[in-house]
Amino acid sequence: MVNKTKVLIYEKDNIELDYPEELELKADNISYDNTITGELTSDDTQGAIDEISQTVASSASPGFGFGKNGNITNGSYLNCEGVPSNISGRYVYISNAIITRVFISVQLATTFDIELYSHDGNETNLTLLGSVTVGSPNPSTGGELTVNIPVSSQKQLALRIRNGSCKNAVAGLELQGTN
């Protein structure tokens, strides 16, 4: 059981009051500074809590993982659990999904593109969503690339190496959206 608590306030919106007022301590009565991260639009605590509960935020988990061992030639798809991602990709289960980050590590420094695709399974309706370049202008063993690529819910995601090659790749995607 929650006890309702009230406090006396002597100032409101930086203006001193002539007489103290009672203020019930509850989330929708307490202001929230939404300028700190710039990600929330609410200016009261209850609104911020409601917004956060509707957003699937990135976490410390690796997101959607992909990879492939050995030499990966131009045009090859990365795997999901050993299966080519263009055949069985990572299923998008959230609404209003946006791919926000692509990250990859490879064994040897090189330059190549990663193409991001969506499909319905087994290459049905395979659609290029966008691409990012790794190692440009200098060859690299990977990194993190910030993107803003919308993807439909209930689709599968695939990653493909293009315009170069690499060796022993481990990649991932971070998505945000609503549940």
d(CA 86, CA 123): 5
Domains along the sequence of the chain with CATH: 6-46 (no CATH), 64-178 (2.60.120)
The answer, as to whether pTM is greater than 0.75, is no
For the record, the structure tokens of 34 come out as: 């939404």
Distance spanning both ends of the chain, measured CA to CA: 29
Taking only the tens of pLDDT, the chain with its 179 residues reads 567 788 888 988 889 989 998 888 787 777 767 676 666 677 677 777 777 666 655 544 557 999 999 999 999 999 999 999 999 999 998 888 999 999 999 999 999 999 999 999 999 999 999 999 999 889 999 999 999 999 999 999 999 999 999 999 999 999 988 87
For the record, the structure tokens of 146 come out as: 């910030």
